[in-house]
């Protein structure tokens, strides 16, 4: 059996869960094995308790592979399970193949290393093996694809979690408007924006285009914007239809987060900036001179 971790947000599968499901279904079909799913609400028990419960389930059901989405929460959960149960875990896979036959079948995987700049092929021979799917590296399975995986419930009652994390309170992040990971348009701002105040232009552009603002680490380090808006290796992985990168140089750690964008428009004073090379279109110039007339033109069309 192949077990997929399906994270839910407000009762709906998250986009990353549908990506995990695509890999899990392809693996199950290729191996001739049934596909089962554990549904987890993002507002559930602490990771230690969940890991204990999932570890118990894996010990009983012995899936060939457990495949989770590449979210922080699923990666944390599977890392806990791997550490507690001594199971192999490969994070950020983009493909999985099953060789041989029987319970000890080797699993051949391709995974992203070094923030997605390198693809590595590897084989796991011990099991059950745990995997997370690299965010936005594979096409998500459409919602409602039949047959639905067989639901398996995770029973956290009576499990002995590690007690290291205790849930005290849940405080909503207070994000307004469109979520970064799901936004169709992201207006990115980097050090070139120059100040927290100047982000007002980017906020307005994002609002007019039905999107949201994402930022580089230089911006969060300067305290101009909160970390939840950071795009990149240590931030969010985004996949909008359009990413407008204003005053962002395009360091590899940033590109990792925005390479899933369908189209990139770079606005930069430096024609040699890596962001310009990575973009579909670039406007070479000062964003402070370019954005006000652009905003005015868009406002006029409303
Ligand atoms: C372990 C590690 C993890 C990291 N994780 C992340 C991450 O998740 N996300 C991330 O973003 N970074 C990350 N970084 C940092 C990354 O290496 C860069 O330092 C950072 O992305 C640079 O931010 P920036 O492009 O805004 O600033 P800069 O590199 O300083 O670039 C500013 C750009 O703005 C342009 N510019 C300046 N003025 C204007 C103007 N008036 N108009 C138009 N353009 C202008 C400049 O030409 C330049 O290209 C990480 C680094 C490490 C070591």
pLDDT digits (tens, 9 = 90+) for 72-84: 889 999 999 999 9
Q: Could you tell me the distance, in angstroms and rounded to a whole number, from the CA of residue 152 to the centre of ligand 1? A: 44
One DSSP character per residue, 245-300 reads: EES----HHHHHHHTT-SEEEEEES-TT-HHHHH-SEEEES-HHHHHHHHHHHHHH
Q: Could you tell me the distance, in angstroms and rounded to a whole number, from the CA of residue 216 to the centre of ligand 1? A: 6
pLDDT, position 157:
80
- Asked whether residue 145 falls in the same domain as residue 23, the answer is yes
Domain final residue pick, 134, 152, 170: 152
Q: Give the count of beta carbons closer than 10 Å to the beta carbon of residue 280.
A: 12
Q: Could you tell me the distance, in angstroms and rounded to a whole number, from the CA of residue 273 to the centre of ligand 1? A: 10
pLDDT over 90 at 65, yes or no:
yes
Q: What is the pTM of this model?
A: 0.76
pLDDT, position 103:
65
- Asked whether residue 198 falls in the same domain as residue 278, the answer is yes
Ligand 1: does its nearest atom lie under 6 Å from the Cβ of 220? no
Angle between helices 199-208 and 287-300 (to 10 degrees): 30
Q: Could you tell me the distance, in angstroms and rounded to a whole number, from the CA of residue 129 to the centre of ligand 1? A: 37
Smallest Cα–Cα separation from 180: which of 193, 171, 189, 191?
Answer: 189
Domain count, the chain: 2
Domain of residue 130 covers 2-152
163 falls within a domain: no
Ligand 1: does its nearest atom lie under 6 Å from the Cβ of 198? no
Domain final residue pick, 100, 132, 152: 152
One DSSP character per residue, 96-134 reads: EEE-SSSTT--EEEEEEEGGGTEEEEEEE-SSSEEEEEP
Instruction: Look at strands 65-68 and 2-9 and give their pairing.
Output: parallel
Smallest Cα–Cα separation from 202: which of 213, 191, 210?
Answer: 213
pLDDT, position 204:
97
Ligand 1: does its nearest atom lie under 6 Å from the Cβ of 217? yes
Mean pLDDT of 80-94: 96
Ligand 1: does its nearest atom lie under 6 Å from the Cβ of 43? no
Report in angstroms the alpha-carbon separations of 139 from 17, 20, 225, 226: 11, 9, 31, 30
Counting from 1 in the atom list of ligand 1, the atom nearest the Cα of 270 is: 47
- Asked whether residue 144 falls in the same domain as residue 10, the answer is yes
Average pLDDT, the chain: 92
Is-cis flag, bond preceding 147, omega within 30? yes
166 falls within a domain: no
Ligand 1: does its nearest atom lie under 6 Å from the Cβ of 233? yes
Q: Could you tell me the distance, in angstroms and rounded to a whole number, from the CA of residue 234 to the centre of ligand 1? A: 13
- Asked whether residue 93 falls in the same domain as residue 195, the answer is no
Token digits for 229? 């808006």
């Amino acid at each position: 059996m192949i077990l997929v971790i399906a994270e839910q947000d407000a009762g709906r599968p998250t986009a990353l869960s549908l990506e995990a499901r695509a890999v899990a279904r392809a693996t199950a079909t290729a191996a001739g094995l049934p596909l089962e799913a554990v549904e987890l609400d993002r507002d559930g028990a602490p990771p230690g308790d969940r890991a204990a419960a999932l570890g118990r389930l894996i010990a009983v059901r012995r899936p060939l592979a457990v495949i989770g989405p590449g979210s922080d929460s699923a990666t944390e959960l599977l890392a806990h399970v791997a550490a507690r149960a001594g199971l192999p875990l490969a994070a950020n896979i983009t493909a999985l193949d099953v060789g041989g036959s029987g319970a000890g079948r080797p699993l051949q995987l391709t995974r992203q290393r070094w923030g997605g700049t390198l693809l590595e092929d590897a084989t796991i021979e011990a099991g059950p093996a745990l995997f997370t799917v690299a965010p936005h590296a594979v096409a998500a399975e459409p919602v409602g694809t039949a047959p639905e995986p067989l639901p398996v419930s995770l029973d956290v009652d009576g499990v002995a979690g590690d007690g290291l994390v205790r849930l005290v309170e849940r405080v909503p992040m207070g994000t307004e408007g469109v979520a970064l990971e799901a936004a169709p348009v992201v207006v990115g701002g980097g050090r070139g924006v120059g100040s927290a105040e100047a982000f007002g232009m980017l906020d307005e552009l994002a609002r007019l285009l039905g999107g949201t603002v994402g930022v580089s680490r230089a911006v969060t380090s300067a305290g101009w914007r909160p970390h939840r808006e950071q795009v990149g290796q240590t931030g969010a992985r985004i996949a909008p239809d359009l990413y407008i990168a204003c005053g962002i140089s395009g360091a590899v750690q940033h590109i990792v987060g925005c390479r899933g964008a369908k189209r990139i428009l770079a606005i930069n004073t430096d024609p040699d900036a890596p962001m310009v090379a990575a973009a579909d279109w670039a406007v070479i110039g000062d964003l402070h001179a370019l954005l006000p007339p652009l905003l005015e033109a868009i406002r006029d069309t409303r």
